[in-house]
Structure 1
């Protein structure tokens, strides 16, 4: 991702990127510091799309237009097709709202009709799942008629598979002459193949109309087996762009993936019934009879309807909840939702027994990128959309891991601005050229740093707000090979083919060189003064073990192991056999064990606004080997002016309690104050200015501090009563003098990069020199 920033393969620490930029694909935040982390976009809201709110009967007793939505599919024009199982109809909801019947003659009258008639004149027999072809052909399953049918673009109904008799015959022959079973899922592949899940099997209707066995004809439940030899009870089914097939197995509480090579593997669920594990690997999470799945990309991302929850799994394998909770509550429409946020309010999502499976809802992807969810036995379809005003469906809003900053990105993953996570004031904004390359960064007070590029887009200078220039040299391959600071000191780098760093040299000529294995993993780091570190790693299906060996033969070992029933264990073994461990539990707890036996356990919970992106510590316990224990319990409460908008914060209160004594910190946006209160009732208040900076501090027993800033955002003065300390700066923006409350001056003289060369106080002077580094 760093090469995409147009800075020669390097990045600036304050500029980040997000990839990819949709709700359904892997969600990786690439930080400018070189770190990366899983991060699902916050700011989603559940809104009513079609049907009745909270029931299946309209005012006056008329039925809902979507009675038990059993299948949903989005069309390119923004409309939705919805099969209404109990109404024996299929309806189309246009982008602007009107609902029209496209198949089925009336409510509650099942039946079957011969081929070749208009779909609006045909009787249907409990239509379930839907699939839409690029040419507009709509496929649907008639569950109780044991058929798959299609509505051609001209509106005429034709049978695709099934004779009307339940069975499992006809493989290798025409699908229209084959018996099929109780159909729960349909999916279209990129080549036009139609996949059918029914009666413990998956079958494939090829584009030439022949039906073939695909999966579920054996007894194996192991990963890595051929799908044909596996045992399953499939329900929802989806085909990824690479041709792999995802299938939910409600009876096994798993989601499985069938690769293009025909092997099957579990991608979510341990097999145990539950709803835990958000923030961890999906294969360590428990599921609640998953019913429907949407494939996101070719890298393993997908969305699953899991009981009363809708959950997403990124390309990194991490699972998180989009909405809903395990106890049967689904967020009421219009209520802001985010990962792991469990609301007590909302509608109860009733489960419906259907052919041995508990079917909780169908999922569909809208043309604009929204997620649609059918609420079975509620007779409603809801839409999950961005909740933050001003953000489009493809706009991305992410929180830093501590929630102190918010990062907004456009649909291409470009970092647009950073905002304060508490006050919502803008901290910095980013400007790009027509090719999407960074050209400027502006802070909250208007100071602008420019990235200067030549006609081809190569960067050759970074110019600070005060005019200092850092020169950049980029070679023909687009790699940054030299950085020369305003003092003329140069750092240089070279690279292997493939952009891996080969050497790095300082202004003194001290060089480090690096060696990698065939997979691009670092195997040796030779630094100045003959320091050598050798690295090696071994991998199994459940663990990675890395070793670092020094030139003196001292070995440190780092092991990461997936524990199927408890979580993710990291163990560090230092020379001499000193061992420390850290266990990330599937319940989002962290247990750290020090070499001396001290055990620290932290239980994390989702932040009220930013979810698992910025988890907060709910409890903390430290226990020494002698048995002494310290415990703390923490909580956070908020109020918002708009439940749909996580940025409409009014107040936020953090409370920490140790042995019955509580400390609280409260932020009040209206008064722009942060007030901290001790268990004895003493309070200190910080007042913020319009840019979110501290402008006043009131502490008990002393005069308040007044803090002022100059027009460039630099600290200008701190006053307490009649005592004032003031600061001045040179033309390069560096601190040049400090006047203390007694009127004495400390003067500082700096070189072009801000290093202090000389300081003086009351006639006494100190000179400072530096080496080339």
Structure 2
């Protein structure tokens, strides 16, 4: 979990600083995070393993620090202010019934547990208001209860299919939101039925009653209009197919090219269409139509939206929405006669009414208004897509197949259970249903399974704890049932890394690492933090304002950071670091940032325009203008960055996937998949594709995962690195023996690494004759010794974790002595080095064994920061000036009077280097931003390199 650094600069001489880390003290959304470096805190961070990750945001807010989870909402609050919306991760897929093998026609084992229960041909689905799923499994309608049990509620007997496995007998199911009744629209018998009893069924073959249809076919131009205006049971039907029920209990069903309705009194009428031979009328491409203007071509399925009671009709790869006031519009698909408008950029999200549906055969609508459409040509396209309430279409389930699922016997068209639905393979999805809890069910006809697609969320493990991981940090976070972060474990090894404890009020009170180092937090009576004590005993004090915003952080009587705010708004006005350097922030009336004034006087201005997208324009006093355009979609966020004439486009998916298109034509894509040890909650990057502008081929790099289990526990976790489909490297970690083995591209063993019970490497043993490396650790977790063959070194530390001596194999030693603002290094030869530090614990001078003293200093001026190095000879100082962005502006050698000047142009690219009588110039392509020429001129000599 990285930090966001604003306005903080690492200067050249800081590379010589002692180990340090950032203490991030911030309120979410209130002010940028300020880095503060302290010597003892640096040691503490290394002891705790945080490195640059000790966060106080949770302390100030009163939430749990580091991580906190709202389990029910699927939201993870990280201690650095980041929010991870787990429920927005890709939905997961699994099977609720079916195992890929067909049952017999008589179905002797139809009742029992649904999981793994065989199916014959699942052709219809419907979900009841109680969460029960009704499955039309060829000659049986079966009910799956929320408990996981299944029972048959209806048997359909027909001499034409008693000895057939063909799903030619097509029918549709629907449930009533009013009374939970189940209706069946039977195409072959030209009737609509209702299931009599859904609980106690005496005879499944007789458990139905007629709702509509006499069985006779309604002929064109029938004088009685096929029974319209009379009782539905006395009406004649043409070809009944899709059926649905609205919130009033009115039944709608497809009948030939018409949509017919049955009211609460059993009276039938026609909502749309006519019983004649009139051909279909072309639909309006974009305008709203009155229902009287619409003639359907071949409608198949229906659904009612629980949100607005509108009716959705699937007709020949176009989905129509019919409102309650009988207005009709296209919501998905594009009629053949309609042109598709040009798309601004291929990375942009797809508009459903501009998309082409491929062999769409089923639809359903969720309780929050999301439309799901099943498409299947039974060959390579077998998928389910969704249309959001804002009209965007995106894939939900069903990755494209590389082979023909229908005609190729060797084509594997089933995969993906317990993984992401978008990566799973379907085979001829025939029906869809959404339950009130938002769970989507797919009748996967070709795979003989009922698949579920549900939101991503963490579940309680056997210890009644929620598990959420961070694969990028190789960490697993464990939360109690209240959502409090209790432990952090290593994802690979399973070892405990941190233990968090809380006060009775639920506020974080301490964090202990695997080496028993502890950070202690003390709070006042209201729960606000007063101070934080690190393992070496140093204390950091906090001052909290009346609006619960952090005002100061201090240690040893010195203020390390000071923040002020604009009134009671909570918006950061100024922040001052330990040097006394201040950054100013200004906002508009909406609280949006408009200006930042940096300590050097540089000003950055921001302008925001919000229409269909969010556009932020940045104007700097250095004339660097940047425009960032943001578009949100159901699957992620699109960014376009314009600087000068150079345009780069990015798409960042909710699952962490990335697609990048650079101005020079290069494309980079990162694909994610569930981590085998972490599950689907947090994806990990598994593949990287790079496509160059001059090369249409893909450059593929991927990690493949595997695991071994024993008694339900992971024993081995393996990873294999592949480049262009060729193995390069394999890593296997054995949790039982606590060893990691490294193999080459031919699976030949090359290296074994052994870890102790704290997860620390203790031995590197190569397969060759090379000497291994042994490492030991102190009680505080520091490296206490390193040995390789005859070479060795031992380290000793004081109680504050600072190194005090190094002892080498030949008996020679180095000793370290610490004073208030200095450190003395004494070598075995008695040569002595003295390192002195300023008030902010940054290196300020080094005294050599010959007593020569070299000093380092950083100062601030208008438009730049200056690093000054003074050698023992005071007249030979070296000055280096840096911009606010860290660009080197010039280097001056006072002893000789020489200077090297660096000039930058647009896109912060280097334009010129000037020194003595020499000039080096650089030019770049205006569109791609790539380097074009390098030109060197010196005293009449000219050299040019062109790219």
TM-score, normalised to structure 1, is 0.68
Aligned with 2:609 (options 523, 532, 538) = 538
The alignment status of 1:723 with 2:775, answered yes or no, reads no
> CA–CA distance in 2 between the matches of 1:268 and 1:408?
45
Where do 1:606-685 residues align within 5 Å?
Answer: 606=673, 609=676, 613-620=683-690, 632-641=699-708, 649-656=716-723, 663-669=728-734, 672-675=739-742, 677=744, 683-685=750-752
Aligned residues of 1:7 and 1:480 also touching (Cα < 8 A): no
In structure 2, relative to structure 1, the CA distance for the partners of 1:665 and 1:350 (3 Å cut) is closer
In structure 2, relative to structure 1, the CA distance for the partners of 1:301 and 1:519 (3 Å cut) is farther
TM-superposed deviation, 1:184? 3.2
TM-superposed deviation, 1:549? 0.9
Give the aligned partner of residue 295 of structure 1: 366
Aligned residues of 2:57 and 2:79 also touching (Cα < 8 A): no
Aligned with 1:82 (options 107, 112, 134) = 134
Aligned residues of 1:88 and 1:109 also touching (Cα < 8 A): no
In structure 2, relative to structure 1, the CA distance for the partners of 1:62 and 1:443 (3 Å cut) is closer
Q: Deviations over 1:288-336 (max 9, x none)?
A: 6373446376xx8787766545678999989665677656666469x54
Aligned residues of 1:320 and 1:339 also touching (Cα < 8 A): no
Where do 1:387-466 residues align within 5 Å?
Answer: 391=461, 398-400=468-470, 402=472, 404-407=474-477, 415=485, 417-431=487-501, 437-466=507-536
The alignment status of 1:362 with 2:433, answered yes or no, reads yes
Q: Deviations over 1:488-521 (max 9, x none)?
A: 5243343565644444343455443433445543
> CA–CA distance in 2 between the matches of 1:588 and 1:259?
40
> CA–CA distance in 2 between the matches of 1:80 and 1:447?
52
Aligned with 1:760 (options 816, 825, 838) = 825
Higher mean alpha-carbon deviation, 608-617 vs 389-398, is at 389-398
TM-superposed deviation, 1:739? 4.5
The alignment status of 1:138 with 2:205, answered yes or no, reads no
Give the aligned partner of residue 577 of structure 2: 506
In structure 2, relative to structure 1, the CA distance for the partners of 1:319 and 1:709 (3 Å cut) is farther
In structure 2, relative to structure 1, the CA distance for the partners of 1:331 and 1:736 (3 Å cut) is farther
Give the aligned partner of residue 124 of structure 2: 70
Higher mean alpha-carbon deviation, 197-206 vs 464-473, is at 197-206
Uncovered stretches (5+) of structure 1, i.e. residues with no partner: 23-27, 111-123, 352-358
> CA–CA distance in 2 between the matches of 1:450 and 1:270?
66
> CA–CA distance in 2 between the matches of 1:139 and 1:581?
53
In structure 2, relative to structure 1, the CA distance for the partners of 1:127 and 1:572 (3 Å cut) is closer
The alignment status of 1:548 with 2:618, answered yes or no, reads yes
TM-superposed deviation, 1:747? 1.9
SS of alignment partner, residue 337 of structure 1: coil
Higher mean alpha-carbon deviation, 148-157 vs 67-76, is at 148-157
In structure 2, relative to structure 1, the CA distance for the partners of 1:678 and 1:55 (3 Å cut) is closer
Aligned residues of 1:227 and 1:258 also touching (Cα < 8 A): no
Aligned residues of 1:182 and 1:198 also touching (Cα < 8 A): yes
TM-superposed deviation, 1:462? 3.6
Give the aligned partner of residue 646 of structure 2: 579
SS of alignment partner, residue 54 of structure 1: coil
> CA–CA distance in 1 between the matches of 2:230 and 2:504?
55
Aligned residues of 1:447 and 1:465 also touching (Cα < 8 A): yes
> CA–CA distance in 2 between the matches of 1:461 and 1:214?
71
Count of aligned positions: 707
Give the aligned partner of residue 80 of structure 2: 33
> CA–CA distance in 2 between the matches of 1:429 and 1:278?
47
Uncovered stretches (5+) of structure 2, i.e. residues with no partner: 1-26, 30-55, 111-117, 161-168, 202-206, 274-280, 377-381, 406-411, 843-947
> CA–CA distance in 2 between the matches of 1:461 and 1:173?
81
Aligned residues of 1:606 and 1:614 also touching (Cα < 8 A): yes
Q: Deviations over 1:142-161 (max 9, x none)?
A: 45567696979999999999
Aligned with 1:593 (options 662, 670, 675) = 662
In structure 2, relative to structure 1, the CA distance for the partners of 1:202 and 1:250 (3 Å cut) is closer
Aligned with 2:143 (options 88, 91, 113) = 91
Aligned residues of 1:462 and 1:471 also touching (Cα < 8 A): yes
> CA–CA distance in 1 between the matches of 2:770 and 2:335?
59
Q: Deviations over 1:430-453 (max 9, x none)?
A: 455676654444434444444444
Aligned with 1:128 (options 170, 173, 189) = 173
Q: RMSD in angstroms over aligned alpha carbons?
A: 6.2
Where do 1:133-172 residues align within 5 Å?
Answer: 137-138=180-181, 140=183, 142=185, 144=187
Give the aligned partner of residue 356 of structure 1: none
In structure 2, relative to structure 1, the CA distance for the partners of 1:393 and 1:421 (3 Å cut) is closer
SS of alignment partner, residue 692 of structure 1: coil
TM-superposed deviation, 1:280? 8.8
Aligned residues of 2:318 and 2:357 also touching (Cα < 8 A): yes
Give the aligned partner of residue 770 of structure 1: 839
In structure 2, relative to structure 1, the CA distance for the partners of 1:537 and 1:464 (3 Å cut) is same
Aligned with 2:594 (options 523, 545, 550) = 523
In structure 2, relative to structure 1, the CA distance for the partners of 1:15 and 1:130 (3 Å cut) is same
Larger RCO, structure (CA 8 Å, separation 6 or more): 1
Give the aligned partner of residue 46 of structure 1: 94
TM-score, normalised to structure 2, is 0.58
Where do 1:238-277 residues align within 5 Å?
Answer: 239=305, 251-252=316-317
SS of alignment partner, residue 528 of structure 1: coil
Aligned residues of 2:62 and 2:507 also touching (Cα < 8 A): no
SS of alignment partner, residue 492 of structure 2: coil
Aligned with 2:541 (options 461, 466, 471) = 471
SS of alignment partner, residue 139 of structure 2: coil
In structure 2, relative to structure 1, the CA distance for the partners of 1:173 and 1:43 (3 Å cut) is closer
Give the aligned partner of residue 349 of structure 1: 427
In structure 2, relative to structure 1, the CA distance for the partners of 1:589 and 1:42 (3 Å cut) is closer
Q: Deviations over 1:352-403 (max 9, x none)?
A: xxxxxxx34434367xx87654444766545568999963899865554647
> CA–CA distance in 2 between the matches of 1:515 and 1:88?
68
SS of alignment partner, residue 558 of structure 1: strand
In structure 2, relative to structure 1, the CA distance for the partners of 1:650 and 1:767 (3 Å cut) is closer
Q: Deviations over 1:618-637 (max 9, x none)?
A: 444557xxx69998543433
Aligned residues of 2:251 and 2:261 also touching (Cα < 8 A): yes
In structure 2, relative to structure 1, the CA distance for the partners of 1:68 and 1:514 (3 Å cut) is same
> CA–CA distance in 1 between the matches of 2:364 and 2:721?
38
> CA–CA distance in 1 between the matches of 2:350 and 2:422?
14
> CA–CA distance in 2 between the matches of 1:665 and 1:342?
26
> CA–CA distance in 2 between the matches of 1:665 and 1:286?
43
TM-superposed deviation, 1:666? 2.0
> CA–CA distance in 2 between the matches of 1:747 and 1:337?
54
Give the aligned partner of residue 22 of structure 2: none
Q: Deviations over 1:682-734 (max 9, x none)?
A: 94443333443322224566422212233343333222224333334443445
Aligned residues of 1:404 and 1:421 also touching (Cα < 8 A): yes
Looking at CA atoms only, which structure, 1 or 2, has the larger radius of gyration? Answer: 2
Q: Deviations over 1:75-133 (max 9, x none)?
A: 65xx62415274374636462625252xx4764599xxxxxxxxxxxxx9955122445
